[in-house]
Structure 1
Amino acid sequence: MEFSRFVAIGDSQTEGMCDEAGPDLYRGWADRLAEQLSTVNPGLRYANLAIRGKNTRDTLVEQLEPALALRPDLIAAPLGMNDVIGRADLDVVHADLDKIYGSLAESGATVVISTFPDIAQINPLGRAFEPRLFEINDIMRGFSRRYGFVLVDLFAAPVLRDRRSWSTDRLHASSLGHDRFAAGAAHALGLPGSDPGWGRALDFTGEPNPLRRTVDDARWLVEFFTPWIVRKVRGRSLGDGRTPKRPELTPIVAPGGRRGGLRIGPGDAGRREQGDGERRPFLSGHVRAAIVAAADTARRRSRSNCRSTPSAMSVTTSREAITVRRSSLMIRRVPCASS
């Protein structure tokens, strides 16, 4: 297929969150797909209007008209995951999607959408919104049939049920996950040289240690879930005040050979300076107690495999260090990064 004007809309997934391409740069599946497209469409220009935290209504109000104004012949618009997590009324979401997808279909462009992966085994709370995820996937399949859209079936890809395909926040894909999404889109579009086995499972590396899994889940609860809940209660979003990373159609390779990505703004840099690499106590006593209890349970379960149990348990990787004690919980905070 020949394309010359590729536009992507949506949320953090399409913005490229957690696929770090270099200092202060995010890449993402849409950027990766654009790069693949440019190898067979040398004149391709690409814009990415997606912004983290945006839901379907935001996309309808803020992104649809600017996207159509760019007169794209290829549009990437996988939408709806923030509505699933955010507990939006899916009947209302369906109506908003119908307006968006109807307009995109009328434009005559090729439209790429997707189902969403089943992250019940990835995210500790994944099973809580699994029925809603199934419903949004059925909605996406219905729009694909109705309008003849290109559907990338991420739900059917075993690779995306592997933790290695997900970042430490367990909501955004890792660099590997973004790469597999781009490969799936390339195959769905029929690009020359695309991989029909893009979704195959990764090599098995053994079951994770139950103690490590429990401590990892505890870290996720403190570091990612709690701040998310606080933002929801306050009515805030990570996308507040942000602008698209590629608002205009531009060549894939920028002057100097650097590929497009999201440069992190002063707000992000400030948050990183305040949070990364510091060891600080988490002050919520009831959460700390719950985490310590979970760790104690895991320790008891692991006694049959251990000759002795230390009073402090540690799990350390190259990116984070966590120590759980009966009396305190200290966490080294890390940025959203690919795993």
Structure 2
Amino acid sequence: MPELPHRLPEDDAPPPSPPPSPAPYARFVALGDSQTEGLGDGDEIRGYRGWADRFAERLAALNPDVQYANLAVRGRLAARIRAEQLPAALALKPDLAAVLAGLNDLIRPRYEPVAAERELEAMYAELTAAGARVVTFTFPDIARLAPSTRVLRPRVIDLNARIRAAARRHGVTVVDTFPLAFAADPRIWCLDRLHANSLGHTRIAAAAAHALDLPGSDDSWSRPLPPRPARHAWQQAATEAAWLGGFLGPWALRRLRGRSTGDGRTAKRPELAPVRRA
């Protein structure tokens, strides 16, 4: 009878497990204005959460050791974000950075698109040169959200094109919200139509995760909300009148006085720190 081959103990051992996947990012830094600060998702008493906090929580679910800083301050123009936040961001040596800026420039009467593009591109260039993966955003079609602002639509289209072009030149990931119906749905915005509400911030965080191909992300953030009942013309007119008087008027008055909602404010998370999951 032929002799059976000798079996070693390791022949019955399970195959070795694959090496663990490296943590996607270790140091996330967010730069920007009120949207990244989180206005619309919380309040002055409890504090603001916002899309960047929500996105950092998604990172922490993948890497509990991730560190996160948020340098954004409401009301900041792109040039001031570059001057104040970019040096601080570079000093933190992020491997992932987010830049969401330009809307405050766009709505100013003396808006200079080339200058805004120059500031944004400088931030993309310096952050990527320092080794960071960078994600940025286009702006939604605000004319669909607030018909009174349709005069600004050409500016939005132009700035979005500049953002896409600058991002391509530096290998920056773009979350392009302009073509998507949900981005102009008032149900994801606060009454001021400038700041996303909690649902909106949740979708922005999910969009960033999907654009960066984080595990567990998908395109559900981009899907339209369920249909809503049609509104009468008089209801739409009343809404526009309330918005003009309640938000646009006070904003214009602040501009005339040379004041900003960010006067005297500083970043809410100026240093890298662990993420406390909500």
* TM-score bracket for this pair, using the shorter chain length: 0.7 to 0.9
Match of 2:169 among 112, 133, 146: 146
Shift of 1:125: 2.5
What are the Cα deviations for residues 154-176 of structure 1, in whole angstroms up to 9, with x where unaligned?
11222112110110001111111
For residue 155 of structure 1, give the secondary structure of its aligned residue in structure 2. coil
Shift of 1:24: 2.6
What are the Cα deviations for residues 215-270 of structure 1, in whole angstroms up to 9, with x where unaligned?
221111111111100011111110011010111111111xxx7x5xxxxxxxxxxx
- Alpha-carbon contact 1:122-1:162 (below 8 Å) kept: yes
Please tell me the residue identity of whatever aligns with 2:251. Answer: W
Instruction: Tell me the residue number matched to 1:18.
Output: 40
- Alpha-carbon contact 1:13-1:52 (below 8 Å) kept: yes
Instruction: Tell me the residue number matched to 2:3.
Output: none
Distance 2:209 2:48 in 1: 20
Instruction: Tell me the residue number matched to 1:57.
Output: 79
Distance 1:76 1:188 in 2: 12
Instruction: Tell me the residue number matched to 1:41.
Output: 63
Unaligned runs of 5+ in 2: 1-22
1:113 aligns with 2:123: no
Instruction: Tell me the residue number matched to 1:173.
Output: 196
Shift of 1:21: 7.0
Instruction: Tell me the residue number matched to 1:211.
Output: 234
Please tell me the residue identity of whatever aligns with 1:113. Answer: T
- Alpha-carbon contact 2:28-2:95 (below 8 Å) kept: yes
What are the Cα deviations for residues 128-171 of structure 1, in whole angstroms up to 9, with x where unaligned?
11111011100111122111111111112221121101100011
Shift of 1:197: 2.6
Please tell me the residue identity of whatever aligns with 1:99. Answer: A
Distance 2:122 2:144 in 1: 33
For residue 115 of structure 2, give the secondary structure of its aligned residue in structure 1. helix
- Alpha-carbon contact 2:38-2:49 (below 8 Å) kept: yes
For residue 168 of structure 1, give the secondary structure of its aligned residue in structure 2. coil
Distance 1:11 1:47 in 2: 14
Matches within 5 A, 1:82-93: 82-87=104-109, 88-93=111-116
For residue 164 of structure 1, give the secondary structure of its aligned residue in structure 2. helix
Match of 1:31 among 40, 53, 63: 53
Distance 2:60 2:73 in 1: 23
Matches within 5 A, 1:1-339: 2-20=24-42, 23-87=45-109, 88-253=111-276, 259=278
What are the Cα deviations for residues 29-59 of structure 1, in whole angstroms up to 9, with x where unaligned?
1111001111001100100000010011111
Distance 2:70 2:232 in 1: 40
User: Whose Rg is larger?
Assistant: 2
Please tell me the residue identity of whatever aligns with 2:41. Answer: D
Please tell me the residue identity of whatever aligns with 2:198. Answer: S
Shift of 1:99: 1.9
For residue 247 of structure 1, give the secondary structure of its aligned residue in structure 2. strand
Distance 1:52 1:240 in 2: 9
For residue 9 of structure 1, give the secondary structure of its aligned residue in structure 2. strand
For residue 98 of structure 1, give the secondary structure of its aligned residue in structure 2. helix
What are the Cα deviations for residues 86-134 of structure 1, in whole angstroms up to 9, with x where unaligned?
1421111122222222111211100010111112121233211111101
Runs of 4+ off more than 2 Å: 21-24, 209-212
- Alpha-carbon contact 1:6-1:73 (below 8 Å) kept: yes
Please tell me the residue identity of whatever aligns with 2:182. Answer: V
- Alpha-carbon contact 1:3-1:73 (below 8 Å) kept: yes
Please tell me the residue identity of whatever aligns with 2:50. Answer: G
- Alpha-carbon contact 1:154-1:181 (below 8 Å) kept: no
- Alpha-carbon contact 2:29-2:69 (below 8 Å) kept: yes
For residue 250 of structure 1, give the secondary structure of its aligned residue in structure 2. strand
Distance 2:36 2:270 in 1: 13
Please tell me the residue identity of whatever aligns with 1:109. Answer: A
Aligned length: 255
Instruction: Indicate the larger mover: 193-202 or 41-50.
Output: 193-202
TM-score normalised to structure 1 length: 0.73
Q: Higher relative contact order at CA 8 Å, sep ≥6: structure 1 or structure 2?
A: 2
Unaligned runs of 5+ in 1: 260-339
For residue 72 of structure 2, give the secondary structure of its aligned residue in structure 1. coil
Distance 2:75 2:44 in 1: 22
- Alpha-carbon contact 2:97-2:133 (below 8 Å) kept: yes
What are the Cα deviations for residues 275-301 of structure 1, in whole angstroms up to 9, with x where unaligned?
xxxxxxxxxxxxxxxxxxxxxxxxxxx
